[in-house]
Amino acid sequence: MFKIMVLLKHRPDLSMEQFIERYEADHAPAHVRRQHHMKRYRRYYLRGVPYALDGKETEPHYDLVSQLWFEDKQSYEADLDVIRMMLAGNAEGGGQSLIDPSKSNLAFLEVHQTDLPGANREDYKLRSIILLKRRPDITMEAFIHHYETTHAQLGFKYAQQDLYRRHFLHAAPNPLNGKVAEPAYDVVTEACYTDAEARKRSRISKAHPDVIAIFEADEANFIDKRTRQGTRAETYDSVLARSCPL
């Protein structure tokens, strides 16, 4: 399965509520109607929350990150008109764009998922998204290796998610202009919980100062701490092929 992520920032004159309402009413349905090969289309609308380790809250660089599934790269390329429509921010029939194209991007995805209790469920009530950028002196290959062999292991031990996915972002040509621009983040980490109590347990597990110190020490090794972003996600899902894996 070939996966991509479309990363969008809405126009500054729109509220998040206006953006979600208009995107879900007009844009997402238009994207589904016009596609021919897309298997699944998941939208995460992001709202900034305090970062778990230092309590700092900033505005995410993107307001919407959409994950798209295709059978292979050729199928993705056959649906580039739909991807262009997403990046342009126009639904069918034109009209004013909803997005700021100067702050929007596209990436190919390398997805890692950990089999935790309940990991094959899709009825999660709550999702938290963390967005991270590697240190400038760290290659993407070294970043992924450290994340998977060391940092993710800390997540397994202390975070207690019901499902834990890491979406590593690889820069891709923008079909609007052909340019390849590095995304604002290198990984979009998705933690899913069956209910509020499950998320509360996860927060408690990381709240002890000794645990925070362990995470902080490890993140200093490979993450640009200036870019750390915590969010909560409002999720919408369009499944176009029932056989599509998660």
Show the tokens assigned to 156. 């397994």
Residue 244 covered by a domain: no
CATH of the domain at 234: 3.30.70.100
Give the whole-number percent of the chain exceeding pLDDT 90. 61
What pLDDT shows up at residue 128? 85
Averaged pLDDT for residues 35-49: 93
Q: Is residue 158 part of a domain?
A: yes
**Higher per-residue pLDDT: 206 or 41:** 41
Band of residue 208 on the pLDDT scale cut at 50, 70, 90? confident
Confirm whether 104 is domain-assigned: yes
Most distant CA pair in the chain, distance: 56
Distance (Å) of CA 71 to CA 6, 32, 79, 236: 17, 16, 12, 21
pLDDT tens by residue, 4-14: 999 999 999 99
> Is the residue at 127 inside a domain?
yes
What pLDDT shows up at residue 144? 98
pTM for the structure as a whole: 0.90
Query: pLDDT band at residue 61, thresholds of 50, 70 and 90?
Result: very high
Per-residue pLDDT tens for 180-189? 999 999 999 9
243, part of any domain: no
Residue 162 belongs to some domain of the structure: yes
pLDDT above 90 (res 223): yes
Q: What is the pLDDT of residue 180?
A: 94
Q: Is 148 exposed, middle or buried (0-12, 13-18, 19+ CB in 10 A)?
A: middle
In whole numbers, what is the pLDDT of the chain averaged over residues?
Answer: 88
Residue 191's pLDDT band (boundaries 50, 70, 90)? Answer: confident
Asked whether residue 245 is assigned to any structural domain, the reply reads no
CA distance 137 to 105: 23
| 29 Rama sector, left if φ>0, alpha if ψ -120 to 50, beta otherwise | alpha
Distance between CA 233 and CA 65 in Å, rounded? 10
* Alpha carbon 221 to chain centroid, angstroms: 23
Complete DSSP assignment for 157-187 = HHT--SEEEEEEEEE-B-TTT--B---S-SE
How do residues 65-119 score in pLDDT, each as one tens digit?
999 999 999 999 999 999 998 998 887 766 678 999 889 999 999 999 876 655 5
Provide the pLDDT for residue 90: 80
State the Cα–Cα distance between residues 84 and 128, nearest whole angstrom: 28
- The verdict on residue 246 lying in a domain is no
Q: How many residues does the chain have?
A: 246
Tokens of 172: 């891709």
Asked whether residue 155 carries a pLDDT value surpassing 70, the answer given is yes
Beta bridge partners of 41: 68, 238
CA 214 to each of CA 49, 50, 157, 190: distance values in angstroms, whole numbers, following the listed order: 21, 18, 12, 20
Most confident by average pLDDT, 75-84, 132-141, 237-246: 132-141
Q: Is the separation of the CB atoms in 205 and 157 below 8 Å?
A: no
Structural domain count of the chain: 1
CA distances 103 to 7, 68, 87, 184, 199, Å, are: 8, 19, 10, 9, 31
Pair 223, 142: CB distance under 8 Å: no
| pLDDT at 38 (0 to 100) | 93
Mean pLDDT of 205-212: 81
Which range marks the domain in which residue 102 is found?
A: 2-238
